[in-house]
Amino acid sequence: MAGEYKHVVLVGIDGAGNFYRKTDAPAIRRLFAEGAGTDYCLTSIPTISAECWGSMLIGVYPETHGLTNDIVSRLPYTDAEHPTVFRMIRDARPDAEIGAFSNWSPILSGIVERDAGVHLDTGEDPGITRRVCEYIREKKPTFVFVQFDSIDGAGHTFGYGSEKYLKELTVADGYVGAIRSAVEEAGIADDTLFIATADHGGFGQNHGGVTDEEKYVFFAAVGKTVAPGTRIDLEVKDIPAVVTRALGVPGSPSWDSKLPDGLFTK
């Protein structure tokens, strides 16, 4: 199964929803201008971190993966029937370089399979950015996932869409731009599918419900087979199908994940 890309970078901004539209976000806007995307990618319900990150990385709905914030904070993920995208890449390519960088460490301990051979790194957003950029330049990974968390913290503290929240989102946009620059500096941009998205948004100072502000997130992807300016329809659970299709590795037959129409030109 041949893929069009040698590398996929997936950057997720926790709690970002589609609020980038209300602030200065040049890196995200550049992705939309140069690639395909939507401001209305439907996330999983309930709009809670573990449920949504689980769907993004496992390709199934929360009622199937069964993850909650409490579970991922205490238990390793061991469901072989519903493997993560990390597992599918590892099984198809035993020698692949795969990484996961996450401010919210339960993703690394409670979603990424411990025996999948994934390079794991956690810390605050600025440190993660520096280290993932170094990792990309040095290792040129087949797949790397990055999660930023300070934006969600700003939402809980100051309110989603508030002035302080939007300022923090602009900072996170800078992290996205730095990672994309690292891909270019590594000399792999032409063979990379670069994706940026979010797990959920928020309403007031919380999330978990079904308001538009909570359930719709942005999704943008840039790559050599992605037509600039294309608008697509997809859900967060469809992202594993995008990643595996780009790399040319099999997806899991147990996934609900589907490749969105019109994302790739070939």
As a whole number, mean pLDDT of residues 112-121 equals 97
Extract the tokens encoding 251.
């997806």
Strand positions, DSSP E, the chain: 7-13, 36-42, 98-102, 119-122, 143-148, 192-197, 216-222
Note the pLDDT tens digit of each residue in 143-154.
999 999 999 999
Question: 46 preceded by cis ω (within 30°)?
Answer: yes
The predicted model scores a pTM of 0.97
Nearest to 43 by CA among 244, 201, 175, 193: 201
Extract the tokens encoding 105.
């460490």
Note the pLDDT tens digit of each residue in 215-234.
999 999 999 999 999 999 99
Q: Please tell me the class of the 7-247 domain.
A: alpha beta
- In angstroms, the CA 35 to CA 219 distance is 10
Note the pLDDT tens digit of each residue in 165-217.
999 999 999 999 999 999 999 999 999 999 999 999 999 999 999 999 999 99
CA dihedral 76, 80, 85, 87 (to 10 degrees): 90
Q: 3-class DSSP state for residue 169?
A: helix
